[in-house]
Amino acid sequence: MQTADLLPLVLVLAAVAYGFAFMRSRAVAAPLGGIRNLKALPAYYAARAALWCAIPALIILGTWAAFEGKVIQDMVMASLPAELAPQSAGRASLTLSQISNLAAGKLDPAMVPEGISGAATLLQELREQSSQFKTLLVILIAVLGGTFAWTQVAPQINARKSVERTLQRLFFVCAAVAILTTIGIVFSVIFETFRFFEKVPVSEFLFGTSWSPQTALRADQIGSEGAFGIIPLFTGTLMISAIALLIAVPVGLLSAVYLSEYASPMVRSVVKPLLEMLAGVPTVVYGFFAALTVAPFIRDLALALGLEASSQSALAAGLVMGIMIIPFVSSLSDDVINAVPRTLRDGSLALGATQSETMKNVIFPAALPGIMGGILLAASRAIGETMIVVMAAGLAANLTANPLDSVTTVTVQIVTLLTGDQEFDSAKTLAAFALGMMLFIVTLLLNVIALKVVRKYREQYD
């Protein structure tokens, strides 16, 4: 059976275990004079049986399903005759897909060497065996666990305590997923990054001024050394993010000020959700808008003004990204402005200051750290934003300060490097992970600083 079918089966078994244990606990309690004489309610004995049935079985199932594919792959590759054994990682993935296509019946066996079709048969066999073993093992463990808990139904055992302890541990495991995810992210980028730095020196990566990741596919190819200098990507990212912030910060901040100080409750209740709607629009929609509407418009406008503009200008991507970040800035500033104590505001107004003077001279300075934190968060969002720049910014890594020129960003390059047909081990693919690492570090730093600033500021007034 497949994992997708085994999962409900285990749950059904757990339900059965629940039922049996429930009945048994009542049966055990009856001669003693009712369930009052048990240490826990029947439902707890039943729940204990269900947990004993499901948890070990699910752990086995999860582990098996996670590693099954990889182990079978390795066994099949090891079985290939020596003359067919692949030389490189790229070859290996090609052979592998050939084998699996053959096993799936998508490929004619007559088209491939005999060793490959043998491997396909092996793959098929191994898959079936693994599936049978998995099914047997999972059902066995589930039944054993359930039965064990069933035999344990006895008046002196406090099932409630053990169920609650298990649940609490389960809750902890769920909370720990956050740590696992972070570890997963760090490890998934760090290994590939180190392998990348074996091929390309760190100094060239960090300080090189030219980026053209076209490496040679064959050793005898000419003129495709590949250059991996991150500087042009860095400046491109910075330029687009700066344009975005230049739009989003004033507009977002002033909107927040107006909404919190001047707007009537009616206006506020209409405008705020509309602003939040801007935040809910998927990035791919902004990308579409930037690439097909704003970019041509800017190019035509520039041409009309006698300027030369690329059809994928940094300005278009930055403008649209700015629109995207407006609600982000405005809602963060709104929070911060509202957190400034009422007394400061009232004091200033009582001295005869106008609302704008109160805003500029009292509230704004008091809220400044929080606003700065918000802007940092917005910057990290702009740097990590992908779809708008993939669709509207270019691919050519130009080192330029002209916003009408086309630039490329770190995220664009990650997507381009990893979506084409690539050898898995080439410097090109590894470069994407190195870029991912840079992106992760930069955004992490920005976030940590921003969160610190915001938190510190909150503590001041709470």
Partner 1 sequence: MTNPSSQAELVRRSLKRRYRKERRFRFYGVAAISIALFSLVILFTDIISKGYTGFIKTTVTLEVHLDGELMYLNDASDPDQIAMADFQAPIIKALQGYFPQATSRADKRELSRMTGSYASNQVRDLLKENPDWLGSTRTIEFPAHDTVSVYVKHAGDPGYSIRLTEQQQRWTDELLSKGVIDTGFNDVFFSRGDSREPSNAGILGALIGSLLTMGVTLVIAFPVGVAAAVYLEEFAPSNRLTDFIEVNINNLAAVPSIIFGLLGLAVFIGLFGMPRSVPVVGGLVLALMTLPTIIISSRAAIKSVPPSIREAAEGIGASKMQVVLHHVLPLAMPGMLTGSIIGMAQALGETAPLLLIGMVAFIVEIPEGFFSSATVLPVQIFIWAGSAEQGFVELASAGIMVLLAFLITMNAFAIWLRKRLERRW
Binders of partner 1 in range 402-431 (CB under 8 A): 411, 414-415, 418-419
**Please, which residue, 176 or 368, has the CB nearer to partner 1?**
176
**Please, which residue, 235 or 255, has the CB nearer to partner 1?**
255
CA gap 324, 422 in Å, rounded: 33
Q: Which of 64, 150, 211, 289 binds partner 1 (CB under 8 A)?
A: 289
Q: Which of 209, 221, 356, 361 binds partner 1 (CB under 8 A)?
A: 356
**Please, what is the minimum distance in Å from the beta carbon of residue 252 to partner 1?**
8
Can residue 303 be called a binding residue for partner 1 (CB under 8 A)? Answer: no
Q: Which of 206, 368, 451, 460 binds partner 1 (CB under 8 A)?
A: 451
Site for partner 1 in 26-85 (CB under 8 A): 66-70, 72-73
Site for partner 1 in 181-200 (CB under 8 A): 181-182, 184-185, 187-189, 191-192
Contact 395, 412 (CB under 8 A): yes
> What phi and psi values does residue 114 have, to the nearest 5 degrees?
-65, -40
DSSP structural state of residue 37: G
Can residue 391 be called a binding residue for partner 1 (CB under 8 A)? Answer: yes
Cβ within 8 Å of residue 8, ≥6 positions away: none
Which amino acid is present at 13? L
Which amino acid is present at 189? V
**Please, what is the minimum distance in Å from the beta carbon of residue 220 to partner 1?**
30
**Please, which residue, 62 or 113, has the CB nearer to partner 1?**
62
Can residue 176 be called a binding residue for partner 1 (CB under 8 A)? Answer: yes
Site for partner 1 in 310-349 (CB under 8 A): 323, 326-327, 330
Q: Which of 107, 385, 407, 428 binds partner 1 (CB under 8 A)?
A: 385
Number of Cβ atoms within 10 Å of the Cβ of 73: 16
**Please, which residue, 223 or 420, has the CB nearer to partner 1?**
420
Measured in whole angstroms, the distance separating CA 371 from the mean position of its chain's CA atoms is 26
**Please, what is the minimum distance in Å from the beta carbon of residue 221 to partner 1?**
27
**Please, what is the minimum distance in Å from the beta carbon of residue 181 to partner 1?**
5
Q: Give the ranges where 80-230 is alpha helix by DSSP (H).
A: 89-103, 114-151, 159-199, 202-207
Q: Which of 159, 387, 430, 453 binds partner 1 (CB under 8 A)?
A: 387
Give SS3 for 60: helix
Listed as own residue / partner, the contacts of 4-10 with beta carbons closer than 8 Å and 24 or more positions apart are: 6/61, 6/134, 6/135, 6/138, 7/58, 7/61, 9/138, 9/139, 10/53, 10/54, 10/57, 10/58, 10/61, 10/138, 10/142
Can residue 266 be called a binding residue for partner 1 (CB under 8 A)? Answer: no
Which amino acid is present at 293? T
CA gap 320, 248 in Å, rounded: 10
Can residue 362 be called a binding residue for partner 1 (CB under 8 A)? Answer: no
CA gap 208, 287 in Å, rounded: 29
Q: Which stretch binds partner 1 (CB under 8 A): 14-22, 49-57, 136-144, 356-364?
A: 356-364
Give SS3 for 212: strand
Measured in whole angstroms, the distance separating CA 184 from the mean position of its chain's CA atoms is 11
Q: Which of 250, 341, 347, 365 binds partner 1 (CB under 8 A)?
A: 250
Q: Which of 78, 82, 110, 178 binds partner 1 (CB under 8 A)?
A: 178
Site for partner 1 in 121-160 (CB under 8 A): 160
Measured in whole angstroms, the distance separating CA 2 from the mean position of its chain's CA atoms is 27
**Please, what is the minimum distance in Å from the beta carbon of residue 272 to partner 1?**
10
**Please, what is the minimum distance in Å from the beta carbon of residue 376 to partner 1?**
10
Tokens 């001669």 map to which residue? 31
Site for partner 1 in 269-288 (CB under 8 A): 271, 274-275, 277-278, 280-288
**Please, which residue, 207 or 424, has the CB nearer to partner 1?**
424
**Please, what is the minimum distance in Å from the beta carbon of residue 276 to partner 1?**
9
Q: How far is CA 29 from CA 17, 40, 157, 424, in A?
A: 18, 11, 12, 63
